[in-house]
Amino acid sequence: MSETFTKGMARNIYFGGSVFFFLIFLALTYHTEQTFPARTNEAQLSESVVRGKLVWEQNNCVGCHTLLGEGAYFAPELGNVFQRRGGEEGFKPFLHAWMKMQPLGVPGRRAMPQFNLSGQEVDDIAEFLKWSSKINTNGWPPNKEG
């Protein structure tokens, strides 16, 4: 092999590497698009989940909480709150009680405001959080307790 590195060799490495990594990018994009419907829990979307997301947005919950790692870090992560606080049997009663007794008024602790949500709105948020807890996030965020 020649000891000289020519412009032609550099160009071939550049173009060859560019094509190689572009093909990898296309393959990963295709794989993501194929697995996206199964990972997003799309089949479980219901009217109450959509209404719960609307209540979530109207009350700017993401201004304090994170959901699946996105949002503010002032209050706990809520992506896995459904499992942490009772699952199928206990989550809705827990959420109703929690929302009703806000703000707690504990000195030196961050306070959640009282939003005066109706029972239906709390049920809808519960359904939205239940749905979001079943999204396959590959273990993200890593903090189990929010």
pLDDT digits (tens, 9 = 90+) for 81-94: 998 998 888 999 99
Instruction: Indicate whether 1 pLDDT > 60.
Output: no
Domain 44-145: homologous superfamily in CATH: Cytochrome c-like domain (1.10.760.10)
Of the pLDDT bands very low, low, confident and very high (cuts 50, 70, 90), residue 36 is: confident
Question: By the 8 A CB rule, do 95 and 125 touch?
Answer: yes
Residue 60 and residue 5: Cα distance in Å, rounded?
59
Residue 78 phi, psi dihedral angles, 5° rounding:
-115, 5
- For residue 128 the two structure tokens come to 């939205």
Residue 81 and residue 144: Cα distance in Å, rounded?
9
Instruction: Indicate whether 52 pLDDT > 80.
Output: yes
Annotated domain spans of the chain: 1-40, 44-145
Burial class (CB in 10 A: 0-12, 13-18, 19+), 59: middle
Average pLDDT for residues 25-31, to the nearest whole number?
Answer: 97
- Helix pair angle (47-58, 119-133), 10° resolution: 100
Which distant-in-sequence residues (6+ apart) come within 8 Å of 124 by Cβ? 48, 49, 51, 52, 54, 55
Of the pLDDT bands very low, low, confident and very high (cuts 50, 70, 90), residue 4 is: confident
Average pLDDT for residues 128-140, to the nearest whole number?
Answer: 89
> What pTM does this model have?
0.77
Instruction: Indicate whether 44 pLDDT > 70.
Output: yes
Average pLDDT, the chain: 91
